[in-house]
Amino acid sequence: MSTGWSLWVMFLIVLNLGITLFLFLWGPRAKIPTLPDGTSGHVWAHGTLREGVRQLPLWWVLFSASMFVAGFAYLALFPGFGNHKGILGWTAHGELARDVAANDAKLDELLVRFRQYPVEQLAGDPAAIQMGKRLFLDNCEACHGREGRGNTLLGAPNLTDQDWLYGGDGKAILTSIQNGRAGVMPPWASLGEQNVKNLAQYVLSLSGAPHDAAKAAVGQPLFATCAACHGPEGKGNQALGAPNLTDDIWLHGGTVADIERTIGGGRQGAMPPWSSRLTEDQMRVLAAYVYHLAHPAAAAAPDAQAAR
């Protein structure tokens, strides 16, 4: 705080405390004109209610005086009176630093234990899941949803259905979190509107969804343009992040209109890397939580696994 601002703050404090202290000391001694019956003469409800004049109760006077003492003591002990640092030397930054250090000390004990287990096994540790959930809500909820069920409008995958674009083991999930992912499907509008519709029907047939068999038959040869990424049977390719088209799980929606829009206009999706925001330990714990979302009952606690 500059000297000018410090003096301004000190002036305001002295002014306010000075006025309130003056009123506190002068109020009990002020002479208020009263009538013989002890009232001020102010009446309401045609004289039914009359304003009385009484001395302030002793407890109120003592309580108010103690507040002034507490206020002066606070200004002496703590910062608040301009640039005065306070007798105790307390600062908000110092208290925050102490709290962060204490919290880090507790976390270090947990993280040392977490480092002993692979992501899949760590997914069974309640403490890791609790920490991972908080990291997920802070960093991933905006796209994947609070429960991790994804968002077709954003092209954010459902993390609870065990259908993975880039692999669902602990290492693959951790890699996705660390480095991010970028997926691009080129638009195929150049095939022509009718061919896009026929190809969409064939794609629907791959998952056993209701479709137009005649159009699907016409669209089947066109799928050769898609097989390079999705495979000749449409089962996808995790190395490329190409979705499996046979499992009836759709990243951008599975209606006829959605699929036609995907084929004709293409899709682009990107998950940012979190290595610049989260530590290695935090990303491992977050990966364990994501693995837990897809395997809520399968992961055993690390201590239980180690005992086997």
pLDDT at position 307 is 39
Q: Which residue has the higher pLDDT, 304 or 88?
A: 88
The answer to whether residue 191 is domain-embedded is yes
Spatial distance between the Cα atoms of 143 and 222, rounded to a whole number of angstroms = 33
> Residues 142, 58: one domain?
no
The answer to whether residue 98 is domain-embedded is no
pLDDT at position 1 is 78
For residue 109, the domain's CATH number is 1.10.760.10
> Residues 189, 299: one domain?
yes
Spatial distance between the Cα atoms of 165 and 187, rounded to a whole number of angstroms = 19
> Residues 149, 211: one domain?
yes
Structural domains in the chain (count)? 2
Q: Which two tokens stand for residue 198?
A: 């026929």
> Residues 72, 190: one domain?
no
> Residues 70, 124: one domain?
no
> Residues 164, 19: one domain?
no
Q: In one letter, which amino acid is 138?
A: D
pLDDT at position 276 is 94
> Residues 119, 256: one domain?
yes
Confidence of residue 305 (pLDDT cuts 50, 70, 90): very low
What are the CA-CA distances from residue 189 to residues 45, 230, 266, 297 (Å)? 85, 18, 9, 44
Residues 253-298: tens digit of each pLDDT: 999 999 999 999 999 989 999 999 999 999 999 999 999 999 987 5
Spatial distance between the Cα atoms of 28 and 33, rounded to a whole number of angstroms = 14
What are the CA-CA distances from residue 243 to residues 129, 155, 201 (Å)? 28, 12, 17
> Residues 261, 184: one domain?
yes
> Residues 122, 68: one domain?
no
- Residue 43's DSSP bridge partners are 50
The answer to whether residue 97 is domain-embedded is no
Asked if the model's pLDDT at residue 199 lies above 70, the reply is yes
The answer to whether residue 230 is domain-embedded is yes
In sequence order, which ranges of the chain are alpha helices (DSSP H)? 3-26, 58-77, 92-114, 119-122, 126-139, 141-144, 170-179, 193-206, 213-219, 224-230, 256-265, 280-294, 302-306
Spatial distance between the Cα atoms of 245 and 262, rounded to a whole number of angstroms = 13
Report phi then psi at 271, rounded to 5: -110, 125
The answer to whether residue 261 is domain-embedded is yes
Q: In one letter, which amino acid is 233?
A: E
> Residues 257, 178: one domain?
yes
The answer to whether residue 220 is domain-embedded is yes
> Residues 68, 152: one domain?
no
Residues 215-239: tens digit of each pLDDT: 999 999 999 999 999 999 999 999 9
Q: Which domain holds residue 73?
A: 3-27+38-77
How much of the chain, in percent, has pLDDT values that exceed 90? 78
Spatial distance between the Cα atoms of 232 and 95, rounded to a whole number of angstroms = 62
Helix (H) or strand (E) holding 181: strand 181-185
Asked if the model's pLDDT at residue 30 lies above 90, the reply is no
What are the CA-CA distances from residue 215 to residues 146, 209, 223, 260 (Å)? 39, 14, 13, 13
The answer to whether residue 227 is domain-embedded is yes
> Residues 23, 135: one domain?
no
The mean per-residue pLDDT over the stretch 185-213 comes to 96
The answer to whether residue 182 is domain-embedded is yes
Confidence of residue 299 (pLDDT cuts 50, 70, 90): low
Report yes or no: 144 and 155 within 8 Å, Cβ to Cβ.
no
Residues 95-117: tens digit of each pLDDT: 999 999 998 898 888 899 999 99
pLDDT at position 146 is 95
CA 120 and chain centroid, separation: 24
pLDDT at position 234 is 96
